[in-house]
Amino acid sequence: MFDDKFVWGVASSAYQVEGTDPDDGRGKTVWDTFTEQGRIFQNQNAYTSCDHMHHYKDDYALMKNLGIKAYRFSLNWARILPEGTGRVNEKAIAMYRDMILTMKENGITPYITLFHWEFPQALQEKGGWLNEEVVDWFGEYAKVVAENFSDLCEYFITINEPQCVVGLGHLSGVHAPGLKLSIPETFQIAHNLLKAHGQAVINLRKYAKQKIRIGFAPTGGVAYPYTDSAEDIEAARKVYFGFYNPMDNWTWNISWFSDPVFLGHYPKEGLEKFKEYLPEITETDMQLIHQPLDFMGQNIYNGYYVRQGADGEPEFVDREPGFPKTACNWPVTPKAFYYGIKFLTERYPLPLYITENGMSCHDNVSFDGRVHDNDRITFLDSYIGAMQRAYDEGADIRGYFLWTFLDNFEWSEGYRERFGMIYVDFMTQRRIVKDSAFWYQNVIGTNGGNLSTNQTTKEILFLDPVCTHNIWGGTRLREDFHYPVEGDDLWECWGISAHPNGDVTLRDCGFRGMKLSELWKNIRKFSEMWTVTVSHS
């Protein structure tokens, strides 16, 4: 199990949950423009979404009732600074301060993410992340955040998933702003983004009103070993931090985005492979990027098999036929969660928080009015169990933020995917607590004690009873209980017994044929380990 200091939370982003209001004073984001261009599933938008900006008091009360201890949420840059720089929207400051105060009143520790893709459209029109002035723009935004919220909040994360910002937003164009730029331009964007992170760290610390803790939250699929052999593990590690993706998908990379931030340099292998595409990278740049941090975050959802090939080099292995998938067709790979945590904590010298993990399910309201999302429970049980394995082996992991609390606007997929523990009826704004939320409540309350990995076995033991003949007996055991016994002088039934007079036999389980007394003698924790079912047939 996890210790009492382990942080159990949920995560969200501003644009996905907040919604809008005619009088909220916020500026336009690149995602607003993206939706107006009809580039979202079924032309959906986030103008209402979960309407969290009007329901947050109830939402935080619900979090409290479910035992949630921490909430990782983002601020909308364009809500706070409608033009991206300059004028501050005081309505936004007041709303976010009240949100944070309400969280704390409900015993929830706030973790603020400065940027979860809510890029101001006004700055996009000035070149966006490709304009090197973005370093100063983001630094100014960080200053405003520190001045207005650092008295209430101790934990800050600068940027969420830079791989997605660069790759999905500017290379493939799947996400806002929906651009398909040249490879060199995307490397310039990535470098600008990392410098902006560094400037934000400087300004957060400079203008903070108390000692604060700052982190960074990248992502990426995990290369994990096909077997647990030393050779396959090393091959997986090499791929996880290596450069095996084609150039049209280069941004799905761990070390290019994490090494500069956590280690202070770009990886040598990447510098060599990418040299024809790179912008000028100076020592001053690297000093700016490599600011002292207090923790690292990582968003992990799935991974892919790697093993050592016959030539000693890594090779990729196809998943087995019928491998489990989520509703959005992502593979279910808890072993990747274990190895991702192990690899990250071995390479980078900072405590780790899992800043996102979860799954999309085909959730529906059942006939009883509830949402029975057993697939999500199974997923989370296996992933959190894998996390505990790494934790038990010494990985310095401090917390876990489940993605996500409310079903919400899932970016280009609109409302097609449901990742939440809470079902949201987007027409009525009704919230329904899913079974997984109650299960997670128990995880938090027991620090993982209810995970299947912490149960020695859940096997059901079926027992054949011992029925005793006596001269004064009768036929009721056969007639009333349907025991398949002969004679009219039956009087006693030893149903669950290790007594010498009625030592029952186990059947239809891994201990088939063993007497209960043997099991009791050999396995002293019997009463905590098994459920006993008496056979009546």
The four Cα atoms 22, 23, 25, 30 give a dihedral, to 10 degrees, of -10
Which residues make Cβ contacts (< 8 Å) with residue 44, sequence separation at least 6?
A: 35, 409, 414, 415
Structure confidence at residue 270 (pLDDT):
98
Taking Cα atoms as reference points, which of 385, 486, 381 lies closest to residue 435? 381
Active site (annotated) includes residue 231? no
Q: Quote the tokens at residue 436.
A: 């997984």
Q: How far apart are CA 387 and CA 335, in angstroms?
A: 9
pTM (whole model) above 0.85: yes
**Residue 486: which pLDDT band, with cuts at 50, 70 and 90?**
confident
Structure confidence at residue 522 (pLDDT):
65
Higher pLDDT, 243 or 495: 243
Q: Is the pLDDT of residue 417 over 90?
A: yes
Structure confidence at residue 186 (pLDDT):
98
Structure confidence at residue 526 (pLDDT):
45
Q: Is the pLDDT of residue 398 over 50?
A: yes
Is 160 annotated in some ligand binding site?
Answer: yes
**Residue 519: which pLDDT band, with cuts at 50, 70 and 90?**
confident
Q: Under the phi-then-psi rule, with left for phi > 0, alpha for psi from -120 to 50, and beta for the rest, what region is 362?
A: beta
What does the pLDDT average to over 333-339? Answer: 98
**Residue 537: which pLDDT band, with cuts at 50, 70 and 90?**
very low
Q: Is 233 helix (H, G, I), strand (E, B) or coil?
A: helix
Q: CB-based burial of residue 428 (10 Å sphere; 0-12 exposed, 13-18 middle, 19+ buried)?
A: exposed
Is 411 annotated in some ligand binding site?
Answer: yes
Structure confidence at residue 471 (pLDDT):
75
What does the pLDDT average to over 49-56? Answer: 98
Mean pLDDT, the chain, integer? 94
Cis peptide before 35 (omega within 30 of 0): no
Higher pLDDT, 360 or 467: 360
The catalytic position among 18, 161, 185, 417 is: 161
Q: How far apart are CA 304 and CA 321, in angstroms?
A: 14
Q: How far apart are CA 84 and CA 39, in angstroms?
A: 23
Q: How far apart are CA 337 and CA 316, in angstroms?
A: 18
Structure confidence at residue 511 (pLDDT):
72
What does the pLDDT average to over 350-378? Answer: 98
Q: What is the pLDDT of residues 23-36, one digit of tens each?
A: 999 999 999 999 99
Structure confidence at residue 532 (pLDDT):
52
What does the pLDDT average to over 100-115? Answer: 98
The catalytic position among 18, 118, 185, 356 is: 356
Is 253 annotated in some ligand binding site?
Answer: no
Is 494 annotated in some ligand binding site?
Answer: no
Structure confidence at residue 300 (pLDDT):
98
Whether 26 and 76 have beta carbons less than 8 Å apart is answered as yes
Structure confidence at residue 524 (pLDDT):
44
Is 272 annotated in some ligand binding site?
Answer: no
**Residue 255: which pLDDT band, with cuts at 50, 70 and 90?**
very high
Q: How far apart are CA 497 and CA 376, in angstroms?
A: 38
Q: Quote the tokens at residue 16.
A: 């996905």
Q: CB-based burial of residue 485 (10 Å sphere; 0-12 exposed, 13-18 middle, 19+ buried)?
A: middle
Is 491 annotated in some ligand binding site?
Answer: no
Task: State percent of the chain over pLDDT 70.
Answer: 96
Structure confidence at residue 533 (pLDDT):
52
Q: How far apart are CA 418 and CA 426, in angstroms?
A: 11
Could you tell me the residue ranges of all domains in the chain?
7-454, 460-534
Q: Is 321 helix (H, G, I), strand (E, B) or coil?
A: coil
What does the pLDDT average to over 244-269? Answer: 98
CATH superfamily label, 7-454 = Glycosidases (3.20.20.80)
Higher pLDDT, 414 or 476: 414
Q: Is 192 helix (H, G, I), strand (E, B) or coil?
A: helix
Structure confidence at residue 462 (pLDDT):
85
Q: What is the pLDDT of residues 59-80, one digit of tens each?
A: 999 999 999 999 999 999 999 9
Is 77 annotated in some ligand binding site?
Answer: no
Structure confidence at residue 515 (pLDDT):
86
Q: What is the pLDDT of residues 315-325, one digit of tens each?
A: 999 999 999 99
Active site (annotated) includes residue 417? no
Whether 466 and 494 have beta carbons less than 8 Å apart is answered as yes
Q: What is the pLDDT of residues 445-483, one digit of tens each?
A: 999 999 999 987 656 778 888 988 877 788 887 888 778
Q: What sign results for the dihedral spanned by CA atoms 164, 169, 173, 174?
A: positive
